[in-house]
């Protein structure tokens, strides 16, 4: 227990124990933003359903384009064209079906009307400005795969193949319990001596909701063994996972780990992570449990690094881990640390590259460091960094 567990190993262990088992529900497409697709979706229709015009202009046979052509029909979007008579062209608008027989569209800017005929300034290539049937999605294509979080453009894509209902995994219910005698809810009055407002509840509620999961408010529990046991049990009965903040260090007032041990199973790790370090993982009865540290920015970082991938996997997401990008360090780390450090940084674009500028105070109690940053820069244990070196970064917008 005395040696520090590397972040990657902790992640591997928590991911190995995340067994997705959420039941499938059918949601109206309009309500499915952020939900996780529970089945592969096969289109069943071609998109577009017919060859159609990409431009406002004239549809014609390429072979006829050398001569001025009379207009034999007018086709607007949603209209039904008749076959194009040879030696004529059709007035056509963007999105309108191309008439059988036509093999190109000339945009109106390249046409001239004279004596009731249309003259073409250049000979079009076959297929020009025609969007072929099935170009976006073929009828047999798998549109989206299960395990994917539905984004706005995905909802649009599913609508384009005519889906009205989508099979998704029921959102996880995540109970959040804050521990500490010193905690006061904002709005409950001015702070007394030694008190702090319960900020972790709000950070964690936001993190849970930004994963499109259901936040179950388990409130605050005092630093007391019996109260902690009751609160943990109550939280576990109401949720698919319990997350606590605080009370997992080795102090006498830290009751979470002993009570989880009594009610289920506990692994307590000292993570090689900064900010962070103490992290508990296990179950209360059969309900998964994650005990985050108490310090507000440690809560944010350990949630993003460990809890978030765990919850995403539990929810059925096929790629639960966040992508890493590269940025140029606008800072130096001269003394190598023993823990993997997640510096709160602001990324800005400088000369076509991303540059990472760290927030001034990186203390684990300073939540401003997270609020005034948009990324975490990863500094591996033992590493030093010189200004200008490339470092790995995680965008907070991809985490929360």
- Per CB under 5 A, 293 contacts Mg ion: no
Under the binding rule (CB under 5 A), the answer on residue 246 touching Mg ion is: yes
Distance between CA 124 and CA 373 in Å, rounded?
A: 53
# binding residues, ligand AMP (CB under 6 A): 16
Q: Which is nearer to ligand AMP, 295 or 369 (CB)?
A: 295
Of 37 and 178, the one with the shorter C-beta distance to Mg ion is 178
- Taking CB under 5 A as the criterion, the residue among 81, 99, 167, 180 binding Mg ion is 180
Cβ distance to Mg ion smaller for residue 171 or 294:
294
Nearer Cβ to ligand AMP (75/260): 260
Identify which of residues 147 and 247 has a Cβ nearer to ligand AMP in the complex.
247
Binder of residue 340, out of Mg ion, ligand AMP, none (CB less than 5 to 8 A by kind): none
Determine the angle formed by the axes of helices 225-238 and 256-263, rounding to 10 degrees. Answer: 60
Q: Which residue is nearest to ligand AMP (CB)?
A: 294
Rule CB under 6 A: which of 290-319 touch ligand AMP?
A: 293-296
Q: Which is nearer to Mg ion, 97 or 246 (CB)?
A: 246
Report the partner that residue 245 touches, choosing among Mg ion, ligand AMP, none (CB closer than 5 to 8 A by kind): ligand AMP
287 binds, among Mg ion, ligand AMP, none (CB under 5 to 8 A by kind): none
The correct pick among 37, 143, 183, 311 for binding ligand AMP (CB under 6 A) is: 183
Burial degree of 330 (CB within 10 A; 0-12, 13-18, 19+): middle
> By Cβ distance, which residue is nearest to Mg ion?
246
Positions 208 through 267 that interact with ligand AMP (CB under 6 A): 245-247, 249
Binding segment for Mg ion (CB under 5 A), chosen from 149-157, 214-222, 238-246, 307-315, is: 238-246
List the structure tokens of 309. Answer: 């991938």
Which letter, b or e, does each residue of 75-86 get, where b requires 16 or more Cβ atoms within 10 Å of its Cβ?
beeeeebeebee
User: CB of residue 208 vs ligand AMP: minimum separation in angstroms?
Assistant: 14
Q: Which listed range, 48-56, 165-173, 210-218, 289-297, lies at the site for ligand AMP (CB under 6 A)?
A: 289-297
Closest approach, Cβ 179 to ligand AMP, in A, equals: 6
Which residue in 138, 196, 205, 330 binds ligand AMP (CB under 6 A)?
A: 196
Q: Report the residue number, 43 or 245, with the smaller CB distance to ligand AMP.
A: 245
Compute the least distance from the CB of residue 250 to ligand AMP, in Å.
10
Q: Which of residues 150-179 bind ligand AMP (CB under 6 A)?
A: 178
Left (φ > 0), alpha (ψ -120 to 50) or beta: where does 351 sit? left
Q: Among residues 108 and 249, whose Cβ is nearest to ligand AMP? A: 249
Q: State the nearest-atom distance from the C-beta of 294 to Mg ion, in Å.
A: 5
Residue 124 vs 246, nearer CB to Mg ion: 246
Is 182 a binding residue for ligand AMP by CB under 6 A? The answer is: yes
Q: Could you tell which of ligand AMP, Mg ion, none binds residue 199, using a CB distance below 5 to 8 A set by kind?
A: ligand AMP
Interface residue with ligand AMP among 72, 73, 199, 368 (CB under 6 A) is 199
Can you give the chain as a three-state secondary structure string?
Answer: CCCCECHHHHHHHHHHCCCCCCCEEEEEHHHCCCCEECCCEECCCCECCCCEECCCEEEECHHHCCCCEEEEEEECCCCCCCCCCCCCEEEECCCCECCCCCCEEEEHHHEEEECCEEEECCCCCCCCCEECCCCCECCCCEEECCCCECCHHHHHHHHHCCCCEEEEECCCEEEEEEECCCEECCCCCCCCCCCEECHHHHHHHHHHHHCCCEEEEEEEECCCHHHHHHHHHHHHHHCCEEEEECCCCCCCCCCHHHHHHHHEEEEEEEECEECCCEEEEEEECCEEEEEECCCHHHHHHHHHHHHHHHHHHHCCCCCCCCCCEEEEECCCECCCCCCEEEEEEEEEEECCEEEEEECCCCCCCCCHHHHCCCEEEEECCCCCECCCCEEEEEEHHHCC
Q: Which residues bind ligand AMP (CB under 6 A)?
A: 178, 180, 182-183, 196, 198-200, 245-247, 249, 293-296
């Amino acid at each position: 227990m005395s040696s520090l567990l590397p972040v990657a190993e902790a992640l591997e262990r928590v991911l190995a124990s995340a067994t997705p088992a959420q039941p499938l529900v059918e949601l109206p497409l309009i309500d499915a933003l952020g939900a996780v697709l529970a089945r592969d979706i096969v289109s069943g229709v071609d998109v577009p359903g017919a060859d159609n015009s990409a431009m406002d202009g004239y549809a014609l046979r390429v072979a006829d384009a050398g001569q001025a052509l009379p207009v034999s029909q007018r086709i607007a979007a949603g209209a039904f064209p008749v076959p194009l008579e040879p030696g004529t062209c059709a007035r056509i608008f963007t999105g309108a079906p191309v008439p059988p027989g036509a093999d190109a569209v000339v945009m109106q800017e390249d046409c001239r009307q004279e004596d009731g005929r249309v003259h073409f300034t250049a000979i079009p290539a076959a297929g020009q400005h025609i969007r072929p049937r099935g170009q976006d999605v073929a009828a047999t294509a798998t549109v989206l795969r299960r395990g994917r979080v539905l984004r706005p453009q995905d909802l649009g894509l599913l609508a384009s193949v005519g889906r009205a209902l989508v099979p998704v995994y029921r959102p996880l219910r995540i109970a959040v319990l804050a521990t500490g005698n010193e905690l006061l809810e904002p709005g409950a009055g001015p702070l007394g001596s030694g008190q702090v407002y319960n900020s972790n509840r709000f950070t964690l509620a936001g993190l849970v909701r930004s994963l499109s999961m259901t936040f179950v408010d388990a409130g605050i529990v005092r630093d007391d063994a019996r109260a902690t046991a009751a609160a943990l049990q109550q939280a576990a009965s109401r949720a698919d996972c319990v997350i606590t903040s605080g009370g997992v260090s080795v102090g006498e007032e830290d009751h979470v780990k002993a009570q989880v041990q009594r009610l289920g199973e506990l692994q307590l790790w000292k993570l090689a992570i900064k900010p962070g370090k103490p992290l508990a993982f296990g179950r209360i009865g059969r309900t998964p449990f994650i005990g985050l540290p108490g310090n507000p920015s440690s809560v944010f970082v350990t949630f993003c690094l460990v809890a978030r991938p765990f919850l995403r996997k539990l929810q059925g997401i096929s790629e639960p881990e966040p992508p890493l990008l590269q940025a140029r360090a606008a800072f130096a780390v001269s003394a190598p640390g023993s823990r993997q450090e997640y510096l709160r940084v602001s990324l800005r674009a400088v000369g076509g590259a991303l540059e990472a500028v760290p927030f001034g105070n990186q203390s684990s109690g300073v939540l401003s460091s997270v609020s005034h940053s948009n990324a975490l820069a990863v500094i591996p244990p033992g590493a030093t960094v010189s200004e200008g070196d490339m470092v790995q970064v995680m965008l907070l917008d991809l985490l929360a």
